[in-house]
Amino acid sequence: MNRVFATERVHGNRRDWYNLRGMLPYLWEFRGRAALAIGCLVLAKTANVGVPLILKDIVDAFQNPSRQMLVLPVSLLLAYGALKLSASLFNELRDVVFARVRYRAMRRLSTRVLEHLHRLSLRYHLERQSGAVSRDLERGTRSVSTIMNYLVFSVLPVLVEFSLVAIIMLSHYALSFALVTFGTVAVYFAFTFAITEWRMEYRHRMNRLDSQANTQAFDSLLNYETVKYFGNERLELSRYDDTLAEWEEMAVASQTSMSVLNFGQGAIIAVGVTIIMAFASHGVVSGTMSIGDLVLVNALMLQLFIPLGFLGIVYRQIKYALADMDLIFKLLDRKPEIQDRPEAPSLALREGGIRFEHVDFHYQPERQILHDLDFSIEPGQTLAVVGHSGAGKSTLSRLLFRFYDVSAGRILIDGQDVREVSQESLRAAIGIVPQDTVLFNDSIYYNLVYGRPDASRAEIERAAEMAHIRTFIESLPDGWDTVVGERGLKLSGGEKQRVAIARAILKQPRILVFDEATSSLDSRTEQAIQQTLSEVAENHTTLIIAHRLSTVVDADRILVMEQGRIREQGTHRVLLEGGGLYASMWELQQREGADTDER
């Protein structure tokens, strides 16, 4: 067990150094400012250490009065005040100069993480927990500012001050003073590092539990209606509270061990200062040191050990911040599953013909989804794919958009393998109306213009009119500025799908995909939208994925899928005359429709 813990600690230390190196690019942008801030820091500490030296001269001047008594102390007092003022001035200048550096670093890292999250594959986003990612992102980006803040405002000042004090001790006093000072600092650091490393496990477990609790709370609110449907408020609260109870135990253990650490640090400092003062007092009694020297040594020790005591807290906070930062850098280290080839060209779109060539696909190797799919969609043709749930229909659109790569075979657009062209150009050529339309928690106008951000107001209004939603939008109290709520929950399913249709129209792609595009619409609206979709699909290469067979009767060709294989294909009439799977599905749906009308 000890060996495992030691191995994990070594690995953790390597990760800490790796993460600290990862911060350097964010500092490099403002390297001039960072250098100026460090310069201000050195000047502030030089002035700070100069204060006890002036204080020694003042005490010695009063101890040995002379005729120049009035002149000398006044000049020393003025120098004392000037050093105090200089220390304060340079400290504030350091803060002002460095502010831009650390806040820009936070901004850059936050943007980089979000960019990376968008680059990660659909598989990652289907498996991730939104609440945990949100909390990790917040803590991780904040940790960059925390570490920079502590390094420049706490660690470096102590190191500079310690160096200046060491020079004074070694040049003015017996070696024993320096040895006791350095020995105390060494013991202090050894004790602090050892105990803090032991305590870090509590912090890691607190982080995991905190993210878990946040995920549970986030999911329960996201699924608010489901919680209410089943009356499971107490169940959600119980899960949340149980996780927080574990977090509470870790937090209490962490606080208790921190008190032990604080007491140990205080004891080490107290012993060191007592020994130093004993040496200094003996020097005064023996006549080898003046009272001013005693005051100087005492002031230097206080000046050194007070921030050193705070440095113990800083070290702990830096370790905690490194633990938080590690979550972000591990995320950034995660390689996107789907990546462009080096210098991948843009898709050279000409007519928009699509070819699925002997395509196999699986999400997990043990469960294959598609088996040897081989079909083409000619330019300007409309191909419909139908089948029961789980047949693999929606997987086709995900492969066409290259959210996943095929397991075998290839997908071609105008003869170009989609794996050989840039993802950006590929997706720019395809418009989709998905089955489950998720909208941004923003205005209807924003959600519509998302299809083509540079579109004019007239184009947006025309797209809305074609999707039969303009009248509805303009009837709302806030019109186009109506906020749709999180995931578009303030709109009905049919209204959301019409927004998605308008968005696809606005994009003006060469290839269109309708994935159950009218599944949430009533029969009357569906008929109107079907006419619109037919108009939109004219002269476009169109893939329609449908469950309702009534929506695909006019397709140029229909593929019937079952368990990831193509069972039948042909026009609506040919498939009905064939009396196979399609014909039985049509008969069943017609019977269900008649039953619904009777009710």
Condensed to tens digits (0 to 9), the pLDDT of residues 191-229 reads 887 877 777 777 778 878 888 888 888 788 878 878 877
Triad 350, 355, 360: Cα angle to 5°: 145
Residue 39 pLDDT exceeds 70: yes
Higher pLDDT, 594 or 472: 472
Residue 6 pLDDT exceeds 50: no
Residue 583 pLDDT exceeds 80: yes
Q: What is the pLDDT of residue 131?
A: 60
Higher pLDDT, 156 or 446: 446
Range with top average pLDDT, 70-74, 388-392, 412-416, 527-531:
412-416
Range with top average pLDDT, 271-275, 316-320, 478-482:
478-482
Higher pLDDT, 113 or 304: 113
> 3-state DSSP helix/strand/coil percent for the chain, to nearest 5?
70, 10, 20
The residues that bridge with 256 in the sheet, in sequence order, are: none
Taking Cα atoms as reference points, which of 598, 599, 568 lies closest to residue 586? 568
Q: What is the pLDDT of residue 130?
A: 62
Compute the average pLDDT of residues 558-580.
Answer: 91
Q: What is the pLDDT of residue 3?
A: 45
Residue 517 burial by CB count (10 A; 0-12/13-18/19+): exposed, middle or buried?
buried
Compute the average pLDDT of residues 386-398.
Answer: 86
User: Per CATH, which fold does 436-508 belong to?
Assistant: Rossmann fold (3.40.50)
Condensed to tens digits (0 to 9), the pLDDT of residues 530-551 reads 777 777 777 789 999 988 888 8
Higher pLDDT, 154 or 522: 154
Tokens of 85: 């003022």
Q: For the whole prediction, is pTM greater than 0.85?
A: no
- Binned at pLDDT 50, 70 and 90, residue 64 comes out as low
Among the ranges given (130-144, 317-331, 452-466), the one the predictor scored with the smallest mean pLDDT = 130-144
Domain ranges of the chain: 22-333, 381-429+511-599, 436-508
Strands 557-562 and 382-387: parallel
- Identical fold at 22-333 and 436-508? no
- Binned at pLDDT 50, 70 and 90, residue 408 comes out as very high
User: Per CATH, which fold does 381-429+511-599 belong to?
Assistant: Rossmann fold (3.40.50)
Among the ranges given (333-337, 413-417, 566-570), the one the predictor scored with the smallest mean pLDDT = 333-337
Helix axes 71-119, 2-28, angle to 10 degrees: 100
Residue 420 pLDDT exceeds 90: yes
Please state which CATH number belongs to domain 22-333: 1.20.1560.10
Spatial contact of 304 and 165, defined as CB atoms under 8 Å apart: yes
Q: What is the pLDDT of residue 558?
A: 93
Condensed to tens digits (0 to 9), the pLDDT of residues 343-367 reads 899 999 888 899 999 999 998 888 8
Portion of the chain with pLDDT greater than 70, in percent: 90
Q: What is the pLDDT of residue 595?
A: 56
Spatial contact of 122 and 400, defined as CB atoms under 8 Å apart: no
Could you give the count of Cα atoms lying within 13 Å of 27 in the half-sphere of its Cβ?
A: 18
Spatial contact of 569 and 558, defined as CB atoms under 8 Å apart: yes
On average, the pLDDT of the chain sits at: 81
Spatial contact of 418 and 426, defined as CB atoms under 8 Å apart: yes
Among the ranges given (67-71, 298-302, 340-344), the one the predictor scored with the smallest mean pLDDT = 67-71
Residue 292 burial by CB count (10 A; 0-12/13-18/19+): exposed, middle or buried?
buried
Q: What is the pLDDT of residue 70?
A: 52
